[in-house]
Structure 1
């Protein structure tokens, strides 16, 4: 079996069997391609079926010279998944990464913004420009609904159920969930739709896409990152801010205002409550409030 053949089969498995998004699949493929390039560069002729742990370990040593511990851990995890797939398909009987340990890394807490900082970023939008109302509606939706950037740019007009107070969000693995949307966010989306979007020359296939670029097509992830980065620079905020920062802030502010973790989990679309629990580490004062309010010996 050749590497490219195995990689093609693996991508189909990730897409069809595991239902991963294209971004997740690309990430897995990138790590495996790093291994393939290493083998080619060093004239190592191992195939996916006969490569052993020694060759993998040497590759990890090389990787460790150029990337941090978190990236090393991700690469090891991605390769382990690939070889588990080969075992699943009966191409191999053992995983060459079975005894290779990932470097220990601390739990990375997500960056967050205060409510004041979010207000400053949104107020920094120039509403006199054609895209101003769109940008305000986008950031209000990112923060107000806790969306991933991929979920934001894929949001459809037909996903808006304002009378019921919800939007339908398509998350990782094409899993759908309904997320509450407050009146102020609805207001800014309606302003954008009625005063800006209707004047665009919408291209075929994008009639139902909510947030469009000036050419009438779906926005890219990179464009949303750029919009936020420019606003952060404009207001002089000395923080690293991305679309995901708005999502983290959404969850953290809900927790600070005594929302329960299970509700936050459902709104964020986390499969496991342990993923949501990271927000408890951001705001330990919340734990003190819970004990003071509910413990029988308070």
Structure 2
């Protein structure tokens, strides 16, 4: 078999890929990688994050490196640099590692590098997810701190209810369209282009949230926007603004935990189970295909376990 034939794409394409002997700057390769990811339908925020994490790598190895200089030792040294020189926690380092690993895999599969470096450039081991959930008292404190007399305050109250009730991600929250809210049946449809899995998902809402949504929708009718959550000027609310507002609310309420959309998602999942919900319906609401991901969202404290044990102890079947 000729060398040219051996360089055909490993994906089974009939077109030959670039030879790994051709010298190509890493920045050029990364632009090609981003272009392919964009065609695959990755969200703009994900592509933006890829750029940020790639820049961290560039800061370490330099912008002038070419593909023929790629080695597994070079990229492994990037891990050492992040953990021991920059002092990053394993969770933060792994976010950057996964992005670079996906890029290296792309380079290998398309023939830009000979060695499957991505197989040796793996995430580092981390402790079990220990993200703290809110207590019911902390949720009440957050809500009591909101100034519901202002537009921003009332909107933020609705956001907290929706986050906790539906367990949606922040990117899914800001992408909710008014036409996809069914107040009669109590369901919100999340369009496929706005979900992480790229699949349409339908999430239920309770009567409490439905009443707030009805009031908020009537209040914002004047803007004529397709989207639900808007700024005071009627513009689409960004996920960064949601995160910033919740963080400021947490400081004001003196909640000494990370107050973020993701913490509300964890909290909602935990409360769902503690209230007697089953993990299978929770998996569907969260939008996870893997039950192991659902398990990571349910981080019970010893007090939670004790309360559940008092209710469901095997001895209760005997006595």
Asked if Structure 1 and Structure 2 have the same fold, meaning a TM-score greater than 0.5 normalized by the shorter chain, the answer is: yes
CA drift at 1:21? 2.0
Unaligned runs of 5+ in 1: none
Contact kept, 8 Å, 1:112 with 1:246, in 2: the verdict is yes
Equivalence for 1:79? 100
Q: Structure 1 residue 139: deviation in Å? A: 1.2
1:29 lines up with 2:51 in the alignment: yes
Query: In structure 2, how many angstroms separate the alpha carbons of the residues matched to 1:11 and 1:47?
Result: 17
Q: Aligned pair in 2 of structure 1 residues 99, 292: CA closer, same or farther (>3 Å)? A: same
Contact persistence 1:169–1:177 (CA under 8 A): yes
Q: Is the 8 A contact 2:70 2:113 kept in 1?
A: no
1:166 aligns with 2:190: no
Matches within 5 A, 1:240-279: 240-279=258-297
- Using the size of structure 2 for normalisation, the TM-score is 0.80
Query: How far apart are residue 187 of structure 1 and its match?
Result: 0.4
d(CA) in 2 for partners of 1:280, 1:134: 28
Q: Deviations over 1:32-72 (max 9, x none)?
A: 3322332327xxx5413441122223333322310222222
Structure 2 CA distance for aligned equivalents of residues 39 and 225 of structure 1: 32
Q: Name the Cα RMSD after superposition.
A: 2.7
Map of 2:8 onto structure 1: none
1:1-298 paired onto structure 2 within 5 Å: 1-17=24-40, 19-40=41-62, 46-64=65-83, 65-66=85-86, 67-100=88-121, 102-170=123-191, 171-194=195-218, 196-199=219-222, 202=223, 207-282=225-300, 284=305, 288=309, 292=313
- Give deviations 1:93-127, integer Å, cap 9, x for gaps: 32224334543210222221122221221122112
**Aligned equivalents of 1:89, 1:124: Cα separation in 2:** 54
State the alpha-carbon separation in 1 of the partners of residues 315 and 278 from structure 2: 13
Structure 1 residue 286: Cα displacement: 8.1
Q: In terms of mean alpha carbon deviation, does 209-218 or 129-138 score higher?
A: 129-138
Structure 1 stretch displaced more, 257-266 or 75-84 = 75-84
Q: Tell me the distance in 1 between the aligned counterparts of 2:291 and 2:307.
A: 17
Separation in 2, partners of 1:191, 1:294 = 48
On the 8 A contact 1:28/1:78 being kept in 2, the answer is: yes
The aligned counterpart of 2:4 is: none
Q: In structure 2, the residue corresponding to 1:155 is in which secondary structure?
A: coil
How many Å separate the matches in 1 of 2:220 and 2:237?
13
Q: TM-score, normalised by structure 1?
A: 0.86
Q: Does the 8 Å CA contact 1:76/1:97 hold for their aligned counterparts?
A: no
Aligned residues between the structures = 288
Deviation at 1:140, TM superposition (A): 0.9
Counterpart Cα distance in 2 of 1:105 and 1:77: 14
